[in-house]
Every structure is written in C-alpha cells, then in structure tokens.
Amino acid sequence: MPAEGFLLVDKPGGWTSHDVVAKVRGLAATRKVGHAGTLDPMATGLLVLGLGRATRLLRFVQEAPKEYVARAQFGIATDSLDADGTETERSPMSVTGETVAAALDPFLGDIQQIPPMTSAIKIGGQKLYELARRGEEIERPPRAVHIFELELLAFEAGDFPVVDFRVVCSSGTYVRTLADDIARALGGRAHLVGLRRTRIGTLHVDDAVAMDELVADRDGVETTILALSEGLADLSRITVDDDLGRRISHGSVLSPAELPIDQPTAVLDEDGNLLAVYTRREAEVRPEVVLA
C-alpha cells in the first residue's frame, strides 16, 4: 500500500518545491503528493508534504503561521527582491543595528504588502512571474498580511549592511517584500540573500528529513511519515464514539449539540484515527473533509 500521511522535508537550496514533490512521488510510488506552501528555489527549510489522503488536508497546514530566518543585504535591490534576480539599484546605506531594530516595530501586526512581480499570484488570470518573464510589470493591489513576531538577530555594518532577522507571519506573507519594505522605511532598498523556513504552526524543521537522506534510503518515506492526525496538530480536536463516528464517516450534517465545536476541528475515533475535519456553520456542524 502506498505511503500515506505527512512528510516533513528540509528542502535544500537550488531545488524547487515541485522538484521535491516529484522526487518523493518516485520514492513513495504514488502520484498523490502535494505540499503546504511553496519555498523559492533559493530558500531552504521546512516543506510539508502530504501523501495519499493527506493531500486533502494540506490547506489546514498551509493556513498556519510560518516562521522564517532571513538574511537581507541593504542598499542593493534586485528585480525579484532576492539573490536570484538581476540587480536594479545600488546605493550605500548609512544605518546601524539600533536604527534597523527600531524600524521593525511598525511592521508588527496587520500590514499591507505589494506582492513582487516574480510571484505565483494571479492577476487577470495570469501568474505574475509569467508576465515578469516577458518583461512586463503591472500594478498589483496590496494584500493584507499579519506579522506576529519580528526580531533582529544580527547586523553586519558596512556600506551595504547585512541584516539577519526572524519573522513569524501569516500565510501569504512575502519575506523578501518585508525585507525591502524595512529598508525603504530607512531610506533605501534591500534584497534577500538567504531564507530558511523553520516552522509551520507547530511542525518544525528540526523534525524534518534531509533530501539526501531520503534519496539514500528508499524506505525513509515510510519510516519518517507522520500520521494524518499528527500532521494536523494545530487544529482543535475531538474524540467521538463509534455510533457518532459512523455518521461522521458518511459526512452527516450534525447539530452543535451532537458535535460541540466552533472552529475547524479534527474528529478522531476512540483509537485516535482521523475520521474527518468538521467546522461550525451557523446552526449546523458540517464536514470540511471526510476521509472514509
């Protein structure tokens, strides 16, 4: 039987997220593999894969807050806002670690971001990066994102200072845009020279397997995969008896009295197996995903 569950991979630099998915499809002998949020080729770190029925649950992982450790070079801008792009602007910046740290506070909470042209967002039915490849640039409406934590980790002085920072942010946040916006607030520009995703919700890169280990050990997928319920550790959960479990496995619409929840909730049987994800919708409790 093909592997099923969640696989935490430490993506190496130079790999696209699709490269990782394609490799794991071969290793696990299944086409049913997806991921919970793209990492740019330059970036490293946590990529959460879903195999088998877990592909239907990836959206619940993707919606969780994400933690990154980033390195930005101030004073130099590129068209992609990262080191893979073409330099478009260069102007020395006279800043200190103290001024950079002070500039971070206004970016906490709800902020607006203009997505970079080299992103997969669709406007007018076309992905921005496809337009960028043709040399086109269009107006992009700002998008609301949330910054939960933002911390300066290190500062290397110079005409083109290097800034290391840690950020915990909502899904959909562009860290390269954040770095450039921080530099703009200080009168300059910036681009990312390093990015590592360390956490999605409570899933941490320390628990991930490296790609070279997976490739070297074809049984690695089987031995490192997380059960369906383990991958949804950030969701509320409720355990039901066999009678209610049978109804839930058939996707029955329930009353709040039968299943007292008020947010997306993982429903488990008495053996700890994930049956479904249900959520409250006004006076009813309805299935989001049924795994039976």
Using CB atoms within 10 A of its CB, is residue 63 exposed (0-12), middle (13-18) or buried (19+)?
Answer: middle
- The encoded tokens of residue 185 equal 């607030």
- The encoded tokens of residue 80 equal 């992609």
**Catalytic annotation present for 159:** no
The C-alpha atoms of residue 190 and residue 161 are separated, in whole angstroms, by 9
The C-alpha atoms of residue 160 and residue 89 are separated, in whole angstroms, by 12
Active site residue: 40, 82, 180, 181, which one? 40
Cβ density class 182-200: b for 16+ within 10 Å, e for less: bbeebebbbbbbbbbbbbb
Reported as half-sphere exposure (CB side, CA atoms, 13 A), residue 164 has a value of: 6
So which residues are the catalytic ones?
40
